[in-house]
Amino acid sequence: MNKIKAGVLGATGTVGQRFIQLLENHPFFEVTELCASEKSSGKNYEDSVSGRWKISADIPSYARKIKVKDCKPPLDCKLLFSGLDSSVAGPIEEDLAGLGYIVVSNSKNHRWDRHVPLMSAEVNPEHLEVVKNQESYKKSGGFIITNSNCTIMGVTIVLKALMDKFGVEKVLLVSMQAISGAGYPGVASLDILGNIIPYIGGEEEKAEQEPLKILGKYEDDRIVNADILISAHCNRVPVIDGHLCCISVKLNKKASIEEIIRVLQDFKGEPQRLKLPLAPEHPIIVKSEPDRPQSRVDLMEEKGMATVVGRIRLCPLLDVKMVILSHNTIRGAAGAALLNAELMYSKGYIKD
């Protein structure tokens, strides 16, 4: 089987580095291009991230000597994973899609474009069909898909499981978000050490709005938002990786705690049915211990691709409350994008 040639945009950044790690020896995709800003262009990749490689594992050997390019054509690949900063991502991704490249983006710029799916592979695989309405697809075969905000990736997987069985009416969400979610160099150490910052610009709006599109229905060639009310408080906490959310949910249909636990444990999506390479066997893992999940202990369940849930109990205000943990740069960013690409490949949206 010939592998699909792939590139990484924003390859030197936090999410770009995670893409490079996860794509090592991938059965579907082969990395042939690494792209970044002009200051990195022309350097070997290992030189471009010297002193800035922030993943505990070493730089994969395949990537070390690849010459970094600007984020513009010509690029020897069909598929592009974008970890670009939102300050530059929009026009770059749009231009490349217009030239026939398939762009799988972690950036926020195109999440609300009408014909761009806001994807979570287990939650809304049917939304992929909307890319056929993109002008770039009609002209060149190129298109854009996006990930959600990292905070709500795990939350939407849990809500999908509950929605399918009981219906969901309202959600109250409080996030405790790791500092890696701010990128590198991110939050100044004097601001975050021994401190909690109760504000992250734009996060609460994303947490309240993006799940509505992700959980929406695809009908009549468009995505119709889910009818759910969400209220969010977002906080930055002094943890390196892992976003933890406390949520309370009002269901349309009453359910016991035992029923809810069973529904979460049994949840599977299209990636599990297709046995995709990066798909977690158990997309939701339920912990029974009263003090779990914890970032230090549970974050790397299923290689960082699982959503870990615990403290499931009755809520006196709504119906049920729980704690949700997910890895923000794996499940919430690069891993989610790669799983989306695997899903597209398996369904024929990406062809050699």
**Active-site positions?**
150, 243
Task: Write down the pLDDT at residue 58.
Answer: 96
Question: Which is nearest to 270 in space by CA: 123, 160, 119?
Answer: 123
Residue 5's SS3 state is strand
Compute the distance between CA of residue 79 and CA of residue 142 in angstroms, rounded to an integer: 9
Count Cα neighbours of 233 within 13 Å in the Cβ-side half-sphere.
Answer: 10
73 prior amide bond cis, ω within 30: no
Compute the distance between CA of residue 283 and CA of residue 280 in angstroms, rounded to an integer: 5
User: Given phi > 0 = left and psi -120 to 50 = alpha, else beta, which region is 268?
Assistant: beta
The string of DSSP letters for 56-82 reads SSPPPHHHHTPBEE-SSS--S-SEEEE
Compute the distance between CA of residue 113 and CA of residue 216 in angstroms, rounded to an integer: 14
- Look up residue 206 and give its two tokens: 């994303």
Task: Write down the pLDDT at residue 275.
Answer: 99
Question: Which is nearest to 15 in space by CA: 121, 149, 200, 197?
Answer: 149
Please report the domains of the chain, with CATH numbers, ordered by start residue: 4-148+334-347 (3.40.50.720), 150-326 (3.30.360.10)
Confidence (pTM)? 0.97
Strand partners, 211: none
In 143-236 the beta strands, taken as DSSP E runs, fall at 143-147, 168-177, 217-219, 222-224, 229-236
DSSP character at residue 334: I
Would you give per-residue pLDDT tens digits along the chain (352 residues)?
799 999 999 999 999 999 999 999 999 999 999 999 999 999 999 999 999 999 999 999 999 999 999 999 999 999 999 999 999 999 999 999 999 999 999 999 999 999 999 999 999 999 999 999 999 999 999 999 999 999 999 999 999 999 999 999 999 999 999 999 998 888 999 999 999 999 999 999 999 999 999 999 999 999 999 999 999 999 999 999 999 999 999 999 999 999 999 999 999 999 999 999 999 999 999 999 999 999 999 999 999 999 999 999 999 999 999 999 999 999 999 999 999 999 999 999 999 7
Question: Which is nearest to 349 in space by CA: 157, 160, 119?
Answer: 119
